Amino acid sequence: SSELGLLQAQQKIRELSVTIRMKEELIKELVKTGKDAQALNKQYSHKITALENEAVQARQELQEAQRQLQELEKQEREISATDKTRAQECRRKIAAAQSKVQVLSQRQRDTARLANLPAQSERRVLELERSVQSMRQQQEQLQRRLREESQQKRRLETEMQRRTHRVKELELKNEQQQKILRIKTEEIAAFQRQRRRAKIEEQKRWLDEEMERVLEQRRGLEELEGELTKREEILAKKEALLQERSSLETKRLRSSQALSKDLVLLTGRIEALEHELSERNGLLRSSSAQDSQQIRQEISNLRQEKDSLLKQRVELDDKLRQGNLLSPEEERTLFQFDEAIEALDAAIEYKNEAITQRQRQLRASASMLSQWEMNLMAKLSYLSASETRALLCKYFDKVVSLREEERKLQLALAELEMQLDEQQRLVQWLENALDRTQLDTDRRLTQQQKEHERSVQLLLQQCREETSLVEELRLRAAGDAPTNRVVQPGLGSWGGPAALPVVKSRRESRRSSLNVGPLVSNNAFIDVRKNPV
């Protein structure tokens, strides 16, 4: 079981290391995504400002078109065919503008979503760092637990060797007792064959009482061994507490030596300052009026430094005088150690008294047992052969029944131990399965997040390439603009009648298709993960 626990702890440490490495790679991907998003949003900020300016101008033009349409609707009965054509043109322009207002609103929502990408990346980085820190702490706990398990294993092996030696000693002692018991039994049988005069029931009752005394003495021996074991444990605890208290007292002594050294240094510095102050006072009396101000300033600085050093020396004197050389936590721990040691001393004294009393009782019972053996031999010597056989048969039946009960109890105990072991193995297996499932889920989620971040980075790169392509097309269009301006003025005379005054140019109609509602300026970043283009 100990070997299995060590292997499971090592496996969990390896799995945690893999998960930590994957999360660190994900953090790097998130940082890279945040940087790419910031660069892309800086590139888009000027374009967003231009679109907002066009949207404001489009709102004004659409309001003007709606006002003209309202005037034409008021004069609908009196207008000519030309005015009707103008009204229909205004309606078409308003419908187109409203459709483009919806498009622009959608673009604004996409822009607002894209604005949160760096903040989301930072939050996720912080969450992942906290998760990695938690996993590192868990890994350290597992490593500490692994060391503790190894130490426990070594202690158990040492204890097992000690108990094996103790078992061998007890087996040897048991063999000796069995030999003595066989000798006594043979003597009893010899005496029983010689003497048979007492009543069997009375002898049986008397033997039961004597057996109870023997059992009581054995229980006393077991209790004495238990008391001795407890005293050894208490002594071991006391030794450990004494070592810890000794380490704290050593630390206090070192702190006291360090404070004394600091006091010597402060005293030397104060004496040097006093000497320097006396020299400055002499220079002040002999200096001119121009240098006196500077010397007074130096004297003031020296006095301030001297006061500060005196204050520090007073604080150090107070610490040495009061004995506050350790931290409050260490002082409290030292006080607890003293109390625990006093309690252990009291417990040791109590155990010593109990052991002494138990030893006196055992010595008294040992003398009584020797007397009982003599009485037993004397009484058994008076029994007849038939009485001895009857008594032996009854005791043999009693021993057999006791052995049968003991065997049943041992079987029941073994079955309960098997069930307990099975339950413990099942619980351990379920805990390990749950830990593995959690680690696998965490690793899969981390891998998916890393792939998602790489997709986001690819989309950001495509956005940057498309932006550069759009800028190149704009530059080409700006180069072709003079030719278009030369050709367009002739269209009015060659292509038919001139345009109506309400109909605007292509650029103005495009502007009028923008949003007419209130437009909030948003120069923040765009969530390219939800709307990559």
**Rounded distance, CA 445 to CA 300, Å?**
67
The structural domains of the chain, ordered by start, are 1-172+444-474 (1.10.287), 206-394 (1.10.287)
Q: Which two tokens stand for residue 274?
A: 């006093």
**Rounded distance, CA 135 to CA 232, Å?**
41
Residue 416 is predicted with a pLDDT of 92
**28-66 confidence digits (pLDDT tens):** 877 777 777 777 666 666 666 666 666 677 667 777 777
The owner of tokens 């950001």 is 460
Per-residue DSSP letter, 382: T
**Rounded distance, CA 290 to CA 297, Å?**
12
What are phi and psi for residue 444, nearest 5 degrees? Answer: -65, -45
**Rounded distance, CA 531 to CA 30, Å?**
18
**360-414 confidence digits (pLDDT tens):** 776 666 666 666 667 667 766 776 777 777 777 777 777 888 888 888 999 989 9
Q: DSSP for 208-270?
A: HHHHHHHHHHHHHHHHHHHHHHHHHHHHHHHHHHHHHHHHHHHHHHHHHHHHHHHHHHHHHHH
Per-residue DSSP letter, 500: P
Residues 6+ apart with CB under 8 A from 40: 460, 463, 464, 525, 526, 528
**Rounded distance, CA 29 to CA 455, Å?**
11
**Rounded distance, CA 462 to CA 40, Å?**
10
For 86, 151, 380, 437, 528, the CA distances from 145, given in Å and listed in that order, are 87, 10, 63, 21, 46
**199-250 confidence digits (pLDDT tens):** 566 666 776 777 777 777 777 778 878 878 888 888 888 888 888 878 877 7
Region for 450 from its dihedrals, namely left if φ exceeds 0, alpha if ψ lies in -120 to 50, beta otherwise = alpha
Residue-level pLDDT, tens digit, the chain, 533 residues: 566 667 777 777 788 788 888 877 877 877 777 777 777 666 666 666 666 666 677 667 777 777 777 777 776 555 555 666 777 777 777 777 767 666 666 665 666 566 566 667 777 778 877 877 877 787 787 788 778 877 887 888 888 888 888 888 888 887 887 788 788 777 776 666 555 555 566 666 776 777 777 777 777 778 878 878 888 888 888 888 888 878 877 777 777 777 777 777 878 877 887 787 787 777 777 766 667 777 777 778 877 877 787 787 777 776 666 665 666 777 777 777 778 878 888 888 887 887 787 777 766 666 666 666 676 677 667 767 777 777 777 777 778 888 888 889 999 899 999 999 889 888 888 888 888 888 888 888 888 888 888 888 788 777 777 777 777 777 777 766 444 444 344 333 333 333 333 333 334 443 343 333 443 334 333 343 333 32
The owner of tokens 């967003």 is 48
Residues 6+ apart with CB under 8 A from 283: 291, 295
